[in-house]
Structure 1
């Protein structure tokens, strides 16, 4: 199973995303089973955010992991820009911790840039880290200028990861951001790694993706995930409220695409040849 170093732990390269989960009482039990099935299949990373359902996703995760050894899990949570200030972040984190049923998160991300000065946010994140409420901190939806600004700040070089949208249909960060992060040793967390809506359908039904999937006796979904984590420094966090699908996603971490596979995929979905606006959903 492909792994990567995240914070102070080595984790499987495919985790569990929870965006859009926890919003319906009708699907709650199945979604909890999906998270637990993913953990049973080898996933250790669970990604959530206070924004997701205004805490309902965090509550769902908390219920799903209530009887699981906390030390075996790597929890990622995110703070909203409106709560990323010195006077609000601690309270925001405490609320998230209560919903999760834990006294710390492994990685706390600044969800996207807002009006609070970046230096204030970084200083506050460092303070929470010193208090032990978070093991590591990072950012999300940061492009290359944002990352360079971050690393120029005192303590900014302690950033543990950047979470951006990244999938076969959205390769823009490959032009400059991703190569720079690799040089700096900053892992990428890829959200929406199998795309969404009509774009997802275009990816999983693409002849090249289907051909590679058949060669590996895998599903097109699994090929998209194996492609996303191919560099060894990317964590993909697909979301699924279905237990079987969640397990299939985790199994994709055991797939290795060869040069011919990657060439076929690149021909169908070419690499970017110029700087693209950061894709944010």
Structure 2
């Protein structure tokens, strides 16, 4: 379990990844540079973006500004992006990766993910990711929003097992079967929408736990992620909120409190179901 914001977990290929990072979903490109710069300056080392977010240019500018204002180097950061549904052919995936690098202004990515499985469109994309990885152009490769059936299908032909499966994960959607499958295959689970897009900020069960520790609901949920061995990437656009989100390493939930939160599961999504999601934009 990580014990501070810059602690890392070790992925199955040996790469160290920060156990907590910053997500920039739905952040406007023009605002992204300052947000990313602030995050890195307050201690975040992992930044998660995607081609479809439309803010890779801003992320890259924020990285550039942060490296100029601190003693950090590029290799001190962990940068993730994702290939969108319209780039899931082999050549399209290679081109999408190169375009993301161009927009980010980087020479390599630490982690590159297939954003959605679609209707079995990912086989050629995964071959492209494997080749990019073997050529040393990506430090690690993985997937997003893959259910057990998608992973089982991918593993039939994959030369390399995904190191990450980034999925919707929060107290109302605990992905029990998927989590067990990923643990069995040493695929690290990473949570998007860890706060259920704000849907748990007034939850009574979590509020009672938060009151005990003098913490917010957000902090309790993120602490629950950490204690469950889940990599988490909460989004925040305000510097003070970034600091608050990371202030979760001075307390621990008891086994009873963890069990109370586990009991909240309803298999309830706020995002699309991967078995049904297939649009191209």
TM-score range, shorter chain: 0.7 to 0.9
Tell me the distance in 2 between the aligned counterparts of 1:17 and 1:254. 23
Q: Which residue of 2 aligns with 1:181?
A: 182
Tell me the distance in 2 between the aligned counterparts of 1:58 and 1:118. 22
Pairs aligned (count) = 260
Q: Which residue of 1 aligns with 2:70?
A: none
Residue 257 (structure 1) aligned with residue 253 (structure 2): yes
Tell me the distance in 1 between the aligned counterparts of 2:147 and 2:87. 21
Q: Secondary structure at the match of 1:88?
A: helix
Q: Which residue of 2 aligns with 1:4?
A: 9
| Structure with more contact order per residue of length (Cα contacts < 8 Å, sep ≥ 6) | 1
Question: Aligned pair in 2 of structure 1 residues 187, 10: CA closer, same or farther (>3 Å)?
Answer: same
> Contact 2:15/2:140 (CA < 8 Å) preserved in 1?
no
Residue 243 (structure 1) aligned with residue 224 (structure 2): no
Tell me the distance in 1 between the aligned counterparts of 2:222 and 2:266. 17
Residue 17 (structure 1) aligned with residue 18 (structure 2): no
Q: Which residue of 1 aligns with 2:126?
A: 122
Alpha-carbon distance, 1:222 to partner: 0.8
Aligned positions of 1:201-240 closer than 5 A: 201=199, 203-232=200-229, 234-240=230-236
Question: Aligned pair in 2 of structure 1 residues 220, 205: CA closer, same or farther (>3 Å)?
Answer: same
CA RMSD of aligned residues (A): 2.3
> Contact 2:25/2:53 (CA < 8 Å) preserved in 1?
yes
Q: Secondary structure at the match of 1:147?
A: helix
Question: Aligned pair in 2 of structure 1 residues 87, 145: CA closer, same or farther (>3 Å)?
Answer: same
Alpha-carbon distance, 1:135 to partner: 1.4
Alpha-carbon distance, 1:255 to partner: 4.3
Aligned positions of 1:143-222 closer than 5 A: 143-157=147-161, 159-171=162-174, 173-174=175-176, 176-196=177-197, 200-201=198-199, 203-222=200-219
Alpha-carbon distance, 1:118 to partner: 3.4
Alpha-carbon distance, 1:116 to partner: 6.6
Q: Structure 1 stretches of 5 or more lacking a match?
A: none
Q: Secondary structure at the match of 2:102?
A: helix
Q: Structure 2 stretches of 5 or more lacking a match?
A: 68-72
- Using structure 1 for the length normalisation, give the TM-score: 0.84
- Using structure 2 for the length normalisation, give the TM-score: 0.84
> Contact 2:80/2:109 (CA < 8 Å) preserved in 1?
yes
CA displacement, residues 220-251 of structure 1 (integer Å, 9 cap, x when unaligned): 1111111123222x211111111111122222
Question: Aligned pair in 2 of structure 1 residues 63, 99: CA closer, same or farther (>3 Å)?
Answer: same
Alpha-carbon distance, 1:194 to partner: 0.5
